[in-house]
A and B are shown apart, each in its own frame.
Chain A
Amino acid sequence: MISKALCAKHVLAVLLFVVCAAASASPLYGDTPVPELQPRNAAQASSGKVPFPRPGSHKGKWIEYHGSQVLAEGNSTVKTGKTCGICHDKIDCITCHETRMPRDHTNYWRTRSHGFMAEGNRQRCMTCHRQDFCIRCHMETAPRTHTATWTTRHCTWCHYGSGFAPESNCVVCHKTALHTSAPHTVNGSMNCSLCHH
C-alpha cells in the first residue's frame, strides 16, 4: 500500500512537471522587445551609465550570488566605469546594506531566532552589522524573560533547572556585576530575595 507521504510526493512531482511544461509553453514576460533606453541626462551619457536593462545574471537568486562577484572583481568594483560600476555607484551598496533588511529578518527573527544564526555563522551578520549594533540593543532593551517580577525570579531561573548557563547567556547583555555560580545549593522553593537584595 502506498503511504500518504509517497503519494503526496508523486502528486507534487506531477504538479511540478505540469507547471514546468506550462511555463515552457507560455510566452515569457520580457519576451516583448524592450525599447532602447536613452540616458536620462548629460552626465549619464558621458559616464555611460544606464539604469536598464539589467544583465542576464541579475535574475532569480542573484542576491545570493552577488557577493561572490564583488569579491572577484576586487576593489575595482566600486570604481566608476568598471564592472559593477558601469551601472552602480558605491552608494548603491551602502543603501542596501545599511537600510534594507533581508527577507528572513521577520519579527520572529528579531525576538528569537537571530541568536540561532549568530551561533554558527557570524560572517553572515558581518555583511551588514558591526558589533555596536548588537551591543546597542542588548544593553538598552530587555529580553522576554525580564517581565515585572524578574528581579526576584532571576536567581532560580539562572541557577536552577532552566537549562540556562549564565556564563554564556546573561553575559550577552550584562558585562558587570556578574555572578556565574551561587555560593550555596539553590532550589526552586527558596525565596532568594530574603537574603539577596
Chain B
Amino acid sequence: MKIHAKAGRCIFLAAVAAVGVGTIGSPVFGESQPLTDPAYSFRGSLTAKYIYRTAELPGQRFSDQDIYSTLRLDLTTTKEKGYEFHFLGWGRADIDGHQNQTGFYPLEDVGNAYSKPVQGYLFEAHLDMNKPLPLVTQIRIGRQSGTRDEPVFFDGLAVDLGNDKLTLSLYGGAAIHFYEIDSTWGRDSLQGAGLDLTPFSFSTINLDYLEVKDKREFTDQQDTLTNRLAAAKVTLRALAATYITGKYRTLNDDPRDFSVRAATAWTEGGGNVSLGYFRQFRTQNELTNEFSLFFDVIGKSSPYQSYDIKLRQFIAERVAFDAGYFDRKLLDEGDQNSFDRNFSRAFVDIELSGCLFAGLACTLTGEQWKTGSNKYQSAGFDATYAWRRLNAKEAKISAGTYYSLFKYDYYVMPGVRDKVRTYYVNMQHPFTKNFSMTAAYEYEHGIENYNTVKIGMRYDF
C-alpha cells in the first residue's frame, strides 16, 4: 500500500528533523557516538539524492528533476531481554512538475505513474520484543518484511519460538502492495508459518506455509484470489564452505517447482563455484501479487527448466576471473510466445586489483543474452581508484564505458538493431566518519541521448 502525498511529506519532514537532531546532538559534527551508552543504542542513516536527467530526441529535448530520500532508524536496548525498533522509509518528489501521463515522455518512470508529485513508501516500522517469555525468542509488531524465503510485506504480528535445534515462526496481517492501483488497506491479507529443524550440525530442514488473499481492484472483475504455498527445503553442508540444498514447493496443492543448488569455495586458491537447477512443473497463470510471475502484464509462464553455473577464481594474487552461464528452456517448445521464451545469458569479468599503482582496480566485462531471435551483447571497461578509507566507507572515483548492442523484433520492424554506448563517472567521498557525499554522471548515446547527473549525501547517526 502506497503512502500518499501527505505521508510522503511527513517522511521528508521526519528525515529533516532527524538530521537536525542528530547534528545538534552530536558533540562534534562528524564524530561517532561515545562507546559507553548503557541503556540503548541509536543508529541510522539519512540519504538524499538529487537527480537531473535530460533526453534528446530528434528535434526535441526533455528534462526532469527529482529528489529521493531514505531514512533508516535502528533503536536497540542493550539489555539481553530488550527491545528494538526498526524503521525504513523511502520517498521521492518530482520538483519541476515534468510528468506527463497522457503521451510518451522519454523520462517517465514509475514515480510519474501517480497523479501527485510526491510519493512515500514505508518498508519497515516495527517494534521487536526479545525473549519476552520462555521459548519465545522474539515478537515483532508493525510494518515489516518477511523473514522466510518469500519476499512479503505486511502490517501485523510475527512471533519466533524455539531454540538452536528447532524454531517456529508464525506471522500474519494485512498484506502490503506498494504499487497496487486502487488498493484499500486491509483487503489483502497473508498468514504463514515456518519451521526450522537442525537435526545434525551439517543439515537443516525448513518447512513453510504461506496463504495470501489478494483483492484485485485494478481489474473490472474485482475478484479476490487466494493462494496457498507450501515449501520444504533440505540443506546439507560439508566442510566449511560446501553445501547442497534442494527445495520443493506446491501451490494450491499442485506441484509448483523444484530447485537444487550446490556450491563450494576454496579459500586457499581464492575461488568458488555454484551450480543450480530449477524446474517449474505447471503453467502459472493468474495469481496473487506475491506469487504472480507477472501474468497480468506479460501472460502465462509455461513449464520450463533452467540451470546455471557461476565460477570465480583468482588466477593471480590480484587478478580475479568471474564467469557465468544461465540457460532456460521451455519444456514444450510449442509454448513459446512473445514474453515466454527460451533464454540464455553468459558473462565474463576480469578484475585487476592494484593495477599500475596501489588503489587502482580495473575491470573488463562482457555479457550476452539471447531469447529466441533477440540478442543483447555488451562489453565494457571500468577503472576505480580508491585513496582513502574512513570507517567503512571509501573515498573513490570510478569511470568507465560499455557498449551494448540490441537486436530485437519489437516496436517497428523485425531485426531492429540498437547500439548504445554508455559513459559514466561515479565519485564517493566520506568527509567525516558520519557524513559522505556522492556524485555521478552518466551519458547514454543511442537512438536517444540521455544525460543523468546525481548528487547525493549520506549522514549516519
Contacts and interface: CB of A to CB of B under 8 A. Distances in A.
Interface of A: 16, 19-20, 22-24, 26-29, 31, 38-47, 51-52, 56-57, 59-61, 64-65, 68-69, 71-72, 74-76, 78-79, 89-91, 93-95, 97-99, 106-108, 110-113, 115-123, 125-126, 130-148, 150, 162-163, 165, 168-169, 171-172, 175-176
A142 B27 CA distance: 52
Nearest to A172: B297
B418 interface: yes
A145 B177 contact: no
B121 A98 contact: yes
A19 B352 CA distance: 8
B263 A72 contact: yes
B356 A19 contact: yes
Contacts of A130: 151, 177, 179, 289-290, 292
16 contacts: A23-B352, A31-B354, A60-B320, A61-B351, A69-B263, A72-B261, A90-B147, A94-B123, A115-B410, A116-B410, A120-B341, A120-B343, A121-B345, A122-B301, A134-B297, A147-B104
B444 A24 contact: no
B371 A110 contact: no
Contact of A120 (B145, B261, B369): B369
A2 to B, nearest CB: 22
B81 interface: no
A95 B72 contact: yes
Question: Which applies to chain A's interface (DSSP): helix, strand, loop or mixed?
Answer: helix
Contacts of A165: 338
Contacts of A137: 109-110, 113
Contacts of B123: 94, 98
Given A20-B316, A64-B324, A91-B88, 18 more contacts: A24-B317, A29-B359, A56-B267, A60-B312, A60-B322, A69-B263, A99-B90, A119-B341, A120-B343, A131-B292, A136-B180, A137-B109, A137-B110, A139-B218, A140-B181, A142-B101, A146-B103, A168-B337
Nearest to B244: A72
B21 interface: no
Given A131-B292, A145-B411, A147-B103, A28 B109 contact: no
Nearest to B351: A60
B189 interface: no
A37 B299 CA distance: 52
Contacts of A44: 41
A119 B404 contact: no
B312 A72 contact: no
Interface stretch (B4-12, B29-37, B248-256): B29-37
A118 B338 contact: no
Contacts of A57: 265, 272
Given A141-B108, A148-B103, A171-B299, A60 B349 contact: yes
A140 B113 contact: yes
Contact of B204 (A52, A61, A76, A169): A76
Contacts of B108: 141-142
A49 to B, nearest CB: 10
A113 B406 contact: yes
Contacts of B36: 42
B78 interface: yes
Contact of B342 (A26, A74, A120, A163): A120
Interface residues of B, number: 143
Interface in B239-264: 243, 245, 261, 263
B294 A26 contact: no
Interface string B189-221: 000001010000000101000000000001110
Contacts of A46: 78
Given A57-B265, A68-B261, A117-B369, A91 B124 contact: yes
A24 B358 CA distance: 11
Interface string B297-332: 111010000100010100011111010101010000
Nearest to B107: A107
A72 B109 contact: no
B129 interface: no
* Most chain A CB within a 10 A radius of its CB, from B219, B298, B369, B450: B298
A194 to B, nearest CB: 24
B319 A119 contact: no
B452 interface: yes
Contacts of A143: 104
Contacts of B68: 99
A88 to B, nearest CB: 12
B393 to A, nearest CB: 9
B178 interface: yes
